[in-house]
Structure 1
């Protein structure tokens, strides 16, 4: 198998050059994963050093999670693993027995899942789940309760003793994530694999979770593999970054160096697809095309990024590209590109056009709308007034539990207001069947939990065109519409026959977006619409929404914790805290000159990749 890839020997040389494997806890050289003769991971060479964090960055389908499954020895049946070296803490994992591998997993190698609400059993109290986890680690029964309390306290959860009796559905997403972190670190592991563990968290909670993981890592000397699609977050969370594309490792090196001086065109493209929170409003630059699917890989002998690369040459596509050492100063930096070092500087990004007012008369109005649940003494949403005009994009921001999603559910009709009225074209939206039909024709919602929102028994072509089923006489070519929708959200047409279980988390969210766009509603209520998406797909979706605004005067209520996305899309922003609107106004004014302390705290907590990259470049020039 290794002989199949001509770059294997070169990869081994790169992995050992410039101290690349010095003090390595985990070492991979010439690692390949195949299924039905197709290389899904191709010639991977990297190392994870002790007490350091390695970020695995790339779009959905890049191979990040599959690499994590290789380390957890949980590849699906039919997948073949081969490598020149796969060594953990001096142990040859390729030659290790099944019992040796089981002894490592959970104890020396721990895992933090992407979706904590799904990872935790909803039928068991937190204390029971923690006790079962400790039992698998060999902790004596009399010690488990105190060990659980100590572990929960270490991740700064309030009243950890009383938390043991609570169930996952009684906790916020951030609290559930902290429980998963506590379980992962309970065994004092040598290596923790964090698989998109902060993707769906608001910026404040995200910052706290990242800081918490860094503190626990520092105290225990643990190494961390931080899987993320967000290169800006990787810069803040990681010491080193490895960028993957379609199963190839295309660039790796110190995090600050990779962001400040990216050598591969794909890394550059990821950075330019990020919206900016500060400075001039400039356009994002979506990547052309899409990540190649399984069916397309056999034909890609050379660079798998070539079809989307502006700097491609014929030599890029003719043969595998070697991973080569490109260290210029300091720590090792490797890149898989024939033109590395010869690429021209990126041009300045184009300015974003000024927002135009399409209409002043609102079609949707909320008058004194509030929500209080019967068993709660605290109002989920204090009475507020809000109007939405055709083509108006409104951002709703705040931490988890601030009332953002409650507001969205009230607008969609999934919850009933405790007080106040919602009017559509001046008519109150009541619970009658006729008004419900008017509501769903005018308003569509994209939900935060992409997995739960998709029918697992339907193929994607059926799911994205589901709104057409109620009016089949109006639609002739449903199959063609399905392919168009998949293309609009950046999925290959070959995905039409797939089921949701065959998709990554980001791909499932794209399907939800496509379904909401099927019949072009007047208002989209988007609850964390891009929280699980790659920055490249995020850029495509943002440009698509702006295009829909121009062509159909579609309005958007964007519920988001990503302030840079809100700034890019929305002309008006509402800041919520504990069910109360604490600040509202034009987006540029609120973000540039926030008046409320809570708004300032949200801005301070947001990762800002462009500003950080500029600082890294200045520091590099001053060395």
Structure 2
């Protein structure tokens, strides 16, 4: 039997008249992992959707062939293709919460995958439990009776992987399965995928924008730009000696590759022949002699999870300790990074600052104003000097309202008189690095980076003293990450605004934060200046986060 599993020949896909994939050709052999990298809009997802004809209705495959073990998938009947999906070819999605049905238990959804198999219900249930155990999910029998919302993000992703691999397919297509996961969880999932791939000898297509993940997991790599495959080959060869300028730029823009902290990260428009600029910013940027803009003292936040059963049937409410005795401050002009895995309490602290969560104990003060949930006028004053950048920039924008109207909304909420709204919006968009013409666009007309910049413009509308940036680089390409961080740093140097950045990306923290606070299970386990924490971390968890953020790339012969 030939070890050639998949051959794509001159595949072209269009959305209407707009080309999305241009004459793509590549081969994939058994027991190999192929990484596909490129910026958003480069055609990565369209390419993998086309392989199994899962494209939206407006897309058309204008030419090409996809040979799977000699069969052209593009010319199979629908029933023939359905027989391959899930059994011979499986898929792991980027968002496990969307991939799993919220109304069905994990067990029901695992059983659905096995509906074509000639086994008894008892045997199917047993095999589903074995599959969950195979992906190292604790207490798999109990998890079978749970719903997706009762599992953590990492556990949901393990369920998705178990569903994709339980029938030992020949080809697994993974569409950015680690993008939304924190660093330590990402390493766990990658190690799991690596182990399972070796055990099943499946071929894997792994789509990602994380170059370090490709280096640690993949054998071969395709680099895509605007629908074209501009470079391909073994990972060690492409990353150590890239031949295309676009590949060299992508590698150069990866924050993890830049050893020395800099407040000006490289972008895709930089000159490749120039060295990376190491910028530390103005020496007097952080005003240590002034009172802190944000002061949190002894913050504790507990949540009560009510039992599904009434007390007379033995049900008892459960108290969850989300944040325990947290104290921190942010000075004027300073960037403080809150880091930790999912569920560590980062977002709860941010919600406490905005008065969206009522603390069990402790105090929160913003610009001299005490945050008190029952003080409506006081909360309005706090929110007038505090802005939020949300983790999902597109999701935080209303699809029915133009960008300009949404940028002005904070001013109207606070009762400000806007004399010339068009001029105000144009000024805010310019500050965020966008043209004034973006004011008339709707969110669906924005790329991920543009939506993030609109979020920055809206955050600047009230001229805040504190910006809370919740995962400002999550889901962004390395090329766009640098643009967003450079923008925030430039705004800070120009206005003196303080920034509380919530992230799990330690590579980003090194380049944008002055100090770092490490959270674990609602408690601060380490804090200090970034340079000190990265150079000599004192806690095991901090060391694990730093190690998890470092994916070794081959030595590269790239200028700068």
Name the TM-score, length of structure 1 as normaliser. Answer: 0.81
> What is the aligned partner in structure 2 of residue 358 from structure 1?
286
Deviation at 1:557, TM superposition (A): 1.1
CA distance in structure 2 between the partners assigned to 1:85 and 1:222 by the alignment: 22
Out of 77, 94, 107, the position equivalent to 1:114 is 94
Residue equivalent to 2:144: 164
Offset at 1:124? Answer: 2.2
Q: Which residue is equivalent to 2:334? A: 392
Report what 2:553 is aligned to: 612
Shift in Å at residue 516 of structure 1? Answer: 3.0
Partner residue, 1:268:
248
**Against the structure 1 CA distance between its residues 272 and 572, is the aligned structure 2 distance closer, same or farther, given a 3 Å change threshold?**
same
Tell me, in whole angstroms, the C-alpha distance in 2 between the residues paired with 1:119 and 1:59: 23
Report SS of the residue matched to 1:224.
strand
Structure 1 residue 453 displacement after superposition = 2.9
> 5+ unaligned residues in a row in structure 1: which ranges?
1-21, 289-308, 311-344, 619-623
Query: Which residue of structure 2 lines up, in the alignment, with residue 436 of structure 1?
Result: 379
C-alpha spacing 1:92/1:401, structure 2 compared with 1 (3 Å): same
Task: Calculate the TM-score normalised by the size of structure 2.
Answer: 0.89
Q: Does 1:286 align with 2:256?
A: no
| Structure 2: distance between partners of 1:24 and 1:490 | 47
For 1:485-506, what per-residue CA distance to the aligned partner results, in whole angstroms no more than 9, with x for missing partners? 3993679957953444x66766
Sort the Cα spacing of 1:503 and 1:213 in 2 relative to 1 into closer, same or farther, 3 A.
farther
Among 429, 434, 437, the residue aligned to 1:485 = 429
Partners of 1:231 and 1:114 in 2: CA distance:
16
Deviation at 1:617, TM superposition (A): 6.5
1:474 aligned residue (418, 426, 436): 418
Distance 1:510 1:107, change over 3 A: farther
Equivalent in the alignment of 2:441: 497
* Local SS of the residue matching 1:399: coil
Q: Extract unaligned runs of 5+ from structure 2.
A: 306-317
Report Cα offsets for 1:596-617 as digits up to 9, x if no partner. Answer: 1111111111134xx5232x76
Moved more, 149-158 or 120-129: 120-129
Q: SS of 1:272's equivalent?
A: helix
Q: Return the offset for 1:150.
A: 0.9
Match of 1:78 in 2: 58
Shift of 1:509: 5.1
Is residue 2:164 matched to residue 1:222? no
2:9 maps to 1:29: yes
- TM-fit CA distance, 1:399: 1.5
> Could you tell me whether the CA contact under 8 Å between 2:465 and 2:498 is conserved in 1?
yes
What residue number does 1:13 align with?
Answer: none
Corresponding residue for 1:198?
Answer: 178
Partner of 1:420: 362
Separation in structure 2 between the aligned mates of residue 238 and residue 100 of structure 1, nearest angstrom: 30
Equivalent residue number for residue 66 of structure 1: 46
Contact preservation (8 Å) 1:489, 1:513: no
The secondary structure found in structure 1 opposite 2:114 is: helix
Q: Select 1:348's aligned residue among 275, 278, 302.
A: 275
- The alpha carbon displacement at 1:575 in A equals 0.9
* Higher mean C-alpha displacement, 373-382 vs 468-477: 468-477
Aligned partners of 2:427, 2:80: CA distance in 1, in Å?
47
**Post-superposition offset of 1:479:** 8.1
CA RMSD of aligned residues (A): 2.7
Shift of 1:230: 1.6
Q: 2:467 aligns with which of 517, 524, 528?
A: 524
Rounded to whole Å, the distance in 1 between the matches of 2:210 and 2:419 is: 39
Q: 2 CA distance for matches of 1:266 and 1:492? A: 29
**Contact 1:365–1:387, Cα closer than 8 Å, also in 2:** yes
* Structure 1 residues 166 and 506, CA gap change in structure 2 (3 angstroms): farther
